[in-house]
DNA sequence: CGAAATCTGATTGTCTGACATATTGATAGA
DNA sequence: TCTATCAATATGTCAGACAATCAGATTTCG
């Protein structure tokens, strides 16, 4: 019920104070904070403690620190905040399934929203990722960049920063897996085909079709994943014989 | 394309090294790290730099630091990681709308999944939040706790850690707004009624009905919000006269 | 007068060494 | 066996110092 007061670290108290001031609007976007020495005097603590606090705030995407320029409050950018989360773990397969499901659910909805809200600029950006992917096919690279960008553009087209941020974060977390999938024979070509169809659905504002296409898009990937994991098992079994 | 090498801070390099070792599986859950002095010797840097790195890792939910016990790798807990994100900003109304939309989209899907996957334990937990809310009505408190818990239990019932984590994070971010809404005359009683209906739908595994009820649940809140903002405007206009 | 080179000051990045404090585990006593 | 005291350990915090570097002022030269 009550939190331990005395044991709270100085650096944590500083973090809290600064965050409170931001919420209260007393510190505003892009504002420059006093330098470390001055802060330490104002707070009445050592510079080391101030630094620890600032490191935390930086890792959270709240402030930005420039080498010899000082500390600034970040412009509010959800993407930055969300990208501050990473998943520094060996993602086990269960976690992968969860991630995958979450992404599928969100992105299908994203597609529907994009159909309603995408403007010409969004469509242009998406179109560009299609040509990018074609170039990847021609050049023979993984095409992951175009893939990620396509989905991000679609998410941006929802005009919902939160959703775009979450989708982006999930998408990049699964980057390694997506690279594997795209490397599956013939997948990249098929993927481009699917992206194109989704793009057209959004252009035509056909949200039902778009949702269906996305479902197919994801189930295609799921199939490849099972194929890949079976292959893997097969190989390892063969290796044991 | 390439990242600046030389300018990377020592503390950031330490963070990266530790995270890499976690991903590679060389550091495992709950493992205790060497103490700060030892770490500083192993890395060949000062203790201050090690501390800065550890503070960052702690704020990310990667490690846990006990006052005089040492530093331990956290058991992987997505909720902890996600709860490490906070939104220390004055949420403007636009951001609120985005949050609200994101939550609605996710939670409707959550309800559908919960219908398929909720077990007896999940149902029991949800039922408990219903009685909690009844008690809040009787006692006359805000009922926010029961409200948040209900939605969290539903999210947990999806058995998808990622989704549960996201829903939780969104839900708590909007806590203040939810308190306001629940304070609207008659809302808490109505809210409990809606929760009960949703609970029953999940119990009966009727996902279509559940989705519909959730849509209603959210649209009811939306209505109150407009009512509240109109009221607010009306008052301020009156005050100007 | 304008542009390039230089210099200087401000600020972060890092280190060293020290002390305070609290928790843990061991040891001694009832 | 349980309790109480004590010492060792690790974190929390501080002070002070120096290096590195970037930005802006200053100077110099065309």
pLDDT value of residue B123: 96
Tell me how crowded residue B212 is: count the other CB atoms within 10 A of its CB: 16
- Residue A235 predicted with pLDDT over 80: no
Nearest CA to CA, how far is A53 from chain B (Å)?
A: 8
At the top level of CATH, the class of A89-233 is mainly alpha
Query: Considering only alpha carbons, which residue of chain A is nearest residue B58?
Result: A56
Range(s) of chain A covered by CATH 1.10.10.10: 11-76
Q: Which fold has domain A11-76?
A: Arc Repressor Mutant, subunit A (1.10.10)
Question: Rounded to an integer, what distance in angstroms lies between the CA atom of residue B134 and that of residue B122?
Answer: 19
Question: Rounded to an integer, what distance in angstroms lies between the CA atom of residue B50 and that of residue B14?
Answer: 7
pLDDT digits (tens, 9 = 90+) for B141-184: 999 999 999 999 999 999 998 888 888 878 877 887 889 899 99
- In this prediction the pTM is 0.75
pLDDT digits (tens, 9 = 90+) for A131-189: 999 999 999 999 999 999 999 999 999 999 888 888 887 887 788 788 989 999 999 99
Q: Is the CB of A45 under 7 A from strand D?
A: yes
Among candidate residues B80, B48, B85, the one with its CA nearest the CA of residue B63 = B80
Q: Tell which CATH classification among 3.30.70.1070, 3.40.50.720, 1.10.10.10, 3.40.1830.10 matches the domain B10-76.
A: 1.10.10.10
- Residue B240 predicted with pLDDT over 50: no
In total, chain A counts a number of residues equal to: 241
Residues of chain A with Cβ-Cβ distance to B160 below 8 Å are: 98, 101-102
Range(s) of chain A covered by CATH 1.20.120.530: 89-233
Top-confidence range, A85-94, A126-135, A168-177, A221-230? A126-135
Domain spanning B88-229: which superfamily? Answer: GntR ligand-binding domain-like (1.20.120.530)
Q: Which tops the pLDDT comparison, B178 or A191?
A: A191
pLDDT digits (tens, 9 = 90+) for A95-130: 788 888 999 999 999 999 999 999 999 999 999 999
- Residue A83 predicted with pLDDT over 70: no
Any chain B CB within 8 A of the CB of A48? yes
Range(s) of chain B covered by CATH 1.20.120.530: 88-229
pLDDT value of residue A75: 73
Any chain A CB within 8 A of the CB of B121? no
Question: Rounded to an integer, what distance in angstroms lies between the CA atom of residue B237 and that of residue B230?
Answer: 10
Query: What one-character-per-residue DSSP string does B85-125 give?
Result: ----S---HHHHHHHHHHHHHHHHHHHHHHHHH--HHHHHH
Interface contact B101-A56, CB threshold 8 A: no
Q: Which nucleotide's C1' sits nearest to the alpha carbon of B40?
A: C15
Contact by Cβ (8 Å): A162, B102: yes
């Amino acid at each position: 019920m009550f939190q331990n007061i005395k044991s709270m670290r100085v650096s944590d108290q500083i973090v809290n104070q600064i965050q409170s001031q931001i919420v209260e609007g007393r510190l505003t976007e892009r504002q420059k904070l006093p330098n470390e020495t001055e802060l330490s005097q104002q707070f009445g603590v050592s510079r080391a403690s101030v630094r620890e606090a600032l490191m935390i705030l930086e890792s959270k995407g709240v402030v930005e620190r420039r080498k010899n320029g000082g500390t600034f409050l970040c412009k509010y950018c959800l993407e930055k905040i969300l990208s501050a989360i990473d998943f520094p773990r060996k993602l086990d397969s269960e976690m992968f399934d969860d991630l995958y499901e979450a992404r599928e659910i969100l992105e299908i909805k994203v597609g529907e929203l994009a159909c309603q809200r995408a403007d010409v600029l969004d469509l242009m950006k998406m179109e560009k990722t299609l040509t990018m992917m074609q170039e990847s096919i021609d050049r023979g690279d993984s095409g992951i960049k175009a893939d990620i960008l396509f989905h991000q553009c679609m998410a941006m087209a929802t005009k919902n920063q939160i959703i775009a941020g979450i989708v982006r974060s999930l998408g990049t977390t699964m980057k390694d897996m997506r690279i594997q999938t795209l490397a599956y024979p013939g997948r990249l070509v098929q993927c481009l085909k699917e992206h194109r169809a989704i793009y057209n659905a959004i252009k035509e504002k056909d949200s039902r079709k778009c949702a269906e296409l996305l479902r197919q898009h994801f189930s295609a990937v799921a199939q490849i994943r099972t194929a890949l994991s079976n292959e893997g098992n097969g190989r390892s079994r063969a290796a044991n014989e």
